[in-house]
């Protein structure tokens, strides 16, 4: 009889699939990689929260005491309390909209920015001490609320708002008769200094977000490259294993034919060739994605026998065949291949399965010159010749099955 084939442990190449992942620095296990969009969204949200905290922190800690002081000293009408409440409400509305992912269109800026600019103008006109006086907080603070309203918009739109606020304040400064050298210098320093700080928060957050996005994209590309390399190595290793398996199946036959040591007129030689051909057909279908892999491989073995003129009756499995490893399936089909190779005219293959036991049997008009060896510790092979008929069975017993 033909010596049993070498059963490799690796799976066929077509079953290998490697998804992009990054490694856990502690356990070394692959973990899901955070998407570029999530990274960008996280950093953008962090920058937005910085702007929100600075805006409302200054509104409460810096501006509210000034409003109270002005109220007590000059009365409610000129204290700016109404403007303070309006600015706070508009800023809260803008923050909620932007935090929820809105603010990309023109609706939010066109609704809030004109009101903010009007509040700055009213504050400059009514505040005690004039445009650059201690109580005209609206001119300096209005830019923080514009940052929130224009967070999803371009920097040029924010700069346009600052320019409009500076122009309006400058006009009021000139009309009110405060435009002397010192006042103009203080006005320019106040407007540019506050605007520069607000622009820094706005542009800085976008710069950090862009850097995080580029870093995430680089990491994503590196992960894809590594995954492709790992997949290529795995496929190559599986192909090499399959090549060695197939070579071990047919190499000695080809060598025997080349040297003349194998005579195809002999029954044993023809049987060896039949075994090799059937194994090759089984190898070709081992990577197919089918519900019942064992029955699919038995079907390939039966097809190989039918091509030699053998009438094979492959009965549908009785019971649900569990998912079996490759080495177990090969150990179950190898006795069937040997019996089919020795079959003269007809054979019947049956499969009986349960969750922890699978038995594959063949009844054929065949004669085996030697018993089929067990190819796996969990698979037991037995045969029983009865006149012209031969019964061969390979039975796999799972770890949870009780001994019979």
Q: What is the pLDDT of residues 157-184, one digit of tens each?
A: 999 999 999 999 889 888 887 778 788 8
Query: Is pLDDT above 50 for 269?
Result: yes
Above 50 in pLDDT, residue 28? no
* Average pLDDT value over all residues in the chain: 83
Alpha helices (H) in 9-137, listed in sequence order: 36-58, 64-74, 81-99, 107-126
| Secondary structure E strands in 182-316 | 311-314
Average pLDDT over residues 190-207: 90
Lowest mean pLDDT among 18-22, 202-206, 365-369: 18-22
The residue ranges of every structural domain in the chain are 1-262, 270-397
- Which of 229-260 are b and which e, b meaning 16 or more Cβ less than 10 Å from the residue's Cβ? eeeeebeeebeebbeebbeebeebbeebeeee
Q: For the chain, first and last CA: distance in Å?
A: 30
Q: How large is the average pLDDT for residues 247-262?
A: 70
Asked whether residue 33 carries a pLDDT value surpassing 70, the answer given is no
Q: Indicate whether 383 pLDDT > 80.
A: no
Beta bridge partners of 318: 352
pLDDT digits (tens, 9 = 90+) for 62-120: 899 999 998 888 888 778 899 999 999 999 999 999 999 898 999 999 999 999 999 99
Torsion of CA 109, 115, 117, 121, to 10 degrees: 180
Query: Helix 107-126 crosses helix 138-149 at what angle (to 10 degrees)?
Result: 180
Would you give the distance in Å from CA 199 to the centre of its chain? 36
Higher local confidence (pLDDT), 312 or 76: 312
CB 378 within 8 A of CB 397: yes
Which of the pair, 370 or 133, is modelled with greater confidence? Answer: 133
Confidence of residue 32 (pLDDT cuts 50, 70, 90): very low
pTM of this prediction? 0.56
- Label residues 6-28 b or e (16+ Cβ within 10 Å = b): eebebbbbeebebebebeeeeee
User: What is the spatial distance between Cα 93 and Cα 395, in angstroms, rounded to a whole number?
Assistant: 72
Confidence of residue 12 (pLDDT cuts 50, 70, 90): very low
Q: Which CATH architecture has domain 270-397?
A: 2-Layer Sandwich (3.30)
């Amino acid at each position: 009889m033909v010596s049993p084939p070498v059963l490799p442990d690796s799976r066929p190449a077509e079953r290998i699939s490697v998804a992009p992942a990054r490694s856990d620095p502690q356990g070394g296990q692959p973990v899901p990689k955070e998407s570029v969009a999530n990274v960008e969204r996280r950093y953008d949200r962090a920058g937005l929260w910085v702007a929100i905290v600075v805006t409302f922190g200054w509104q409460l800690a810096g501006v509210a005491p000034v409003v109270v002081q002005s109220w007590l000293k000059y009365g409610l009408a000129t204290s700016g309390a109404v403007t303070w409440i309006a600015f706070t409400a508009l800023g809260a509305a803008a923050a909620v909209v932007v935090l929820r992912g809105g603010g990309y269109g023109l609706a939010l800026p066109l609704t809030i920015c004109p009101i903010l600019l009007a509040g700055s103008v009213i504050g400059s006109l009514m505040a005690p001490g004039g445009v650059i006086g201690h109580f005209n907080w609206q001119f300096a603070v209005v830019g923080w609320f514009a940052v929130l309203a224009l967070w999803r918009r371009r920097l040029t739109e924010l700069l346009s708002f600052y320019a409009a606020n500076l122009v309006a304040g400058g006009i009021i400064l000139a009309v009110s008769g405060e435009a002397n050298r010192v006042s103009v210098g203080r006005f320019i320093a106040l407007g540019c200094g506050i605007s520069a700080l607000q622009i820094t928060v706005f542009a800085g957050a976008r710069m950090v977000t862009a850097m995080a996005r580029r870093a995430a994209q680089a990491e994503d590309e590196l992960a894809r490259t590594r995954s492709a390399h790992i997949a290529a190595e795995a496929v190559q290793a599986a192909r090499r294993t399959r090549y060695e398996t197939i070579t071990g199946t047919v190499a000695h036959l080809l060598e025997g034919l080349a040297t003349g040591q194998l005579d195809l007129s002999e029954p044993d030689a023809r049987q060896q060739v039949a075994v090799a051909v059937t194994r090759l057909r089984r190898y070709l279908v081992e990577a197919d994605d089918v519900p019942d892999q064992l029955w699919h491989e038995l079907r390939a073995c039966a097809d190989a026998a039918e091509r030699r003129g053998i009438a094979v009756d492959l009965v549908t499995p009785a019971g649900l065949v569990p998912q079996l490893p490759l080495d177990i399936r090969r150990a179950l089909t190898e006795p069937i291949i040997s019996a089919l190779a020795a079959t003269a005219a007809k054979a019947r293959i049956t499969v009986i399965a349960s969750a922890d036991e699978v038995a594959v049997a063949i009844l054929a008009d065949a004669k085996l010159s030697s018993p089929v060896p067990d190819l796996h510790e969990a698979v037991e092979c037995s045969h029983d010749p009865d006149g012209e008929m031969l019964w061969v069975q390979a039975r796999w017993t799972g770890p949870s099955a009780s001994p019979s």
